[in-house]
Amino acid sequence: MKERKNSNLFEENTLDVLEEQYLEADNRDKIDYWAPLSRLIIESVELRDLLGFSQEVLAKLMNTRQSVISRFENLGRIPSYDFIARMAQALGHAPGMTLFGDFMAILPLNKQQEIRAIAERTGVSTQTYVQTIFEEAIEQDLYAKNNRNPNPIVDIREWMDIFSRVGSTNGTAANDTRINPEPDSSKTQKLAKCG
């Protein structure tokens, strides 16, 4: 790996630094292989801490021992699917798995409860709601780029704001004027009608 020009991490976004290091790495295949497990461990520790669970509490919820949780969190154990599924459920989530990790996105923990509440008010599952947001954003972005629009749709933060109003009395994503009306927005309209 190349030596970093600016070693002061406080001047750069941590994710940008990690992305730069990844792009300069000679062992990207190894990084890609282990990154999902590393992310899973980080997510589980962050969520456990957010919920105020000790390793012992989580172990009891999963019907296992604290030492098993500790080994997992310290990468001393490669988890089985059963372990991952029980952990996800104990932490209040549904397990998920895909072969298309390079197309997967995870919402930050501080937004997950808000999105879950919006999905419930809308009458759809959280997974359906989030999938619809991403599909519509991608469709709008591709439409704009194919029509040589130098300013393709709004960024994802604006999409989150648009969809947070789905079903509210202030407006819906289906009639938001910032969205280009040309692409098929039937999914968005279905979500809006559910509210």
pLDDT in tens, 173-191: 433 333 333 444 455 444 4
Question: What is the model's pLDDT at position 141?
Answer: 80
Question: What is the model's pLDDT at position 25?
Answer: 86
Is the pTM value of this prediction over 0.85?
no
Question: What is the model's pLDDT at position 165?
Answer: 54
Question: What is the model's pLDDT at position 12?
Answer: 54
pLDDT under 70 in the chain at which residues?
1-15, 149-195
Can you tell me the distance from the alpha carbon of 151 to that of 159, in angstroms, rounded to the nearest whole number? 15
Question: What is the model's pLDDT at position 57?
Answer: 97
Can you tell me the distance from the alpha carbon of 140 to that of 99, in angstroms, rounded to the nearest whole number? 25
CATH of domain 9-98: 1.10.260.40
Question: What is the model's pLDDT at position 51?
Answer: 93
Question: What is the model's pLDDT at position 4?
Answer: 42
Q: How many CA atoms lie within 13 A of 27 on its CB side?
A: 6
Question: What is the model's pLDDT at position 104?
Answer: 79
Alpha helices in 91-177 (DSSP H): 109-122, 126-146, 156-164
Structure tokens at 8: 């002061």
Question: What is the model's pLDDT at position 6?
Answer: 44
Question: What is the model's pLDDT at position 182?
Answer: 43
Question: What is the model's pLDDT at position 72?
Answer: 95
92 φ/ψ sector (left φ>0, alpha ψ -120 to 50, else beta) = left
